[in-house]
Amino acid sequence: MKNFLTSESVSEGHPDKICDLISDSILDEIISHRPDSRVAVETMSAQGLIVISGEISTDCYVDIHSICKNTLKEIGYTRPEYGLDYQTCAVLTTIQSQSDDIAMGVDTGGAGDQGMMFGYATNETPEYMPMTIAYAHKLIKRVADLRKSNHLKYLRPDGKSQVTVEYENGKPKRIDAIVLSVQHDPDISLEEIRQDLREHVIDHVIKHEMIDDDTKIFVNPTGLFVKGGPEADTGLTGRKIIVDTYGGMAKHGGGCFSGKDPTKVDRSAAYMARYVAKNLVAAGIADQLEIQLSYAIGIKEPISISVNTFNTGKFNDESIINVIKKLFDLTPLGIIDQLNLRRPIYKKTAAYGHFGRDEEGFTWELLDKIDEIKKLIK
């Protein structure tokens, strides 16, 4: 049986990703001074304007305006013609402290809100991620690297990628379609852009055996992409949650990650669920596995745990859940301690995916429970 899955990614200069990066940059700066601070920061980007709002409870001071502008500079919004210039853009803030009603539950080690979080892993790629989202991230990250190194000087900060994979009997067979849309200077030809991106991006990232004569490749399909970023589209924190997670292969609970300190289970429990799923798949429990955790505000333990192995499991669900309960502390404080989350590690998660990255600080990607899982499973 054949089926197709498509996933997308966006560059750090995309209007929504700008907001995720600013929110997480503020979070990192605050918890670098006071790791126990409570932070939930939302950002909006528009032409010439950044608006930052949310709840922060801390006794340290950080210069939010400077953090915002430095982040825009790092992304590449350094010229007025981009529609957003870090030197001249307006930054508005409206910040309040966390609600006392919510704080009561968090102060005792309980969850800060109700909700469900999902984690997923598959053995179809070395990253234990769906091939679609893994390639989508790599493509647009490669575009950003070429822009920042001035290898392709005409590139501007905004951009998107999209990859469609054909699956046969549940396994990736071939790349069916690739879409790359990159912002560029007005004086470059579409022919040159398409030639450069095929040579320096697509051929560099995608394994040649995955592309065949029937693979459809679209580079800037409308022709021009000069106007981009917040000049072309308003951005908001948390509007790319499928990009941030599994590209649509697995479910998402609905709560975004960026701008939230680790007491927020929207973020920390989703990281823990990924950690659990990845170690279980790496231990050979299943070829792919999705775990759902659910929480109630003020309650420490998850109120439900469920797994789905998509008929690839080597053990029944009850046995898998028993291993999870024995091996992993799923309380909010237990998650924070086990994954060492009270550190300024969040800014680099904000673009190119929170999962599937073998980088310092991504503790939820560690494969350090495999032997214990194999000993416990029955």
User: How much is the pLDDT for 1?
Assistant: 75
User: How much is the pLDDT for 105?
Assistant: 61
User: How much is the pLDDT for 104?
Assistant: 61
Return the half-sphere exposure (C-beta side, CA atoms, 13 A cut-off) of residue 6. 9
Q: Which helix (H) or strand (E) holds 172?
A: strand 171-184
Cα–Cα distance, 92 to 326 (Å, whole number): 47
Angle value at C-alpha 171, between 165 and 175, nearest 5 degrees: 20
71 neighbors 111 (Cβ within 8 angstroms): no
User: How much is the pLDDT for 101?
Assistant: 64
8-state DSSP, 98: P
pTM of the model: 0.96
348 neighbors 361 (Cβ within 8 angstroms): yes
User: Residue 276 corresponds to which amino acid?
Assistant: V
Q: Which helix (H) or strand (E) holds 57?
A: strand 49-57
Residue 307 tokens, joined = 């797994």
The distance from CA 354 to its chain's CA centroid, rounded to whole angstroms, is: 4
8-state DSSP, 40: E
- Structure confidence by residue, pLDDT tens digits, 144-181: 999 999 999 999 999 999 999 999 998 999 999 999 99
Report which of 59, 52, 60 is spatially closest to residue 24, judged by C-alpha positions: 52
Residues with pLDDT less than 70, the chain: 100-105, 107-108
Other CB atoms within 10 A of residue 67 CB: 20
249 neighbors 82 (Cβ within 8 angstroms): no
What is the phi/psi pair of residue 90, to 5°? Answer: -85, 140
User: How much is the pLDDT for 99?
Assistant: 72
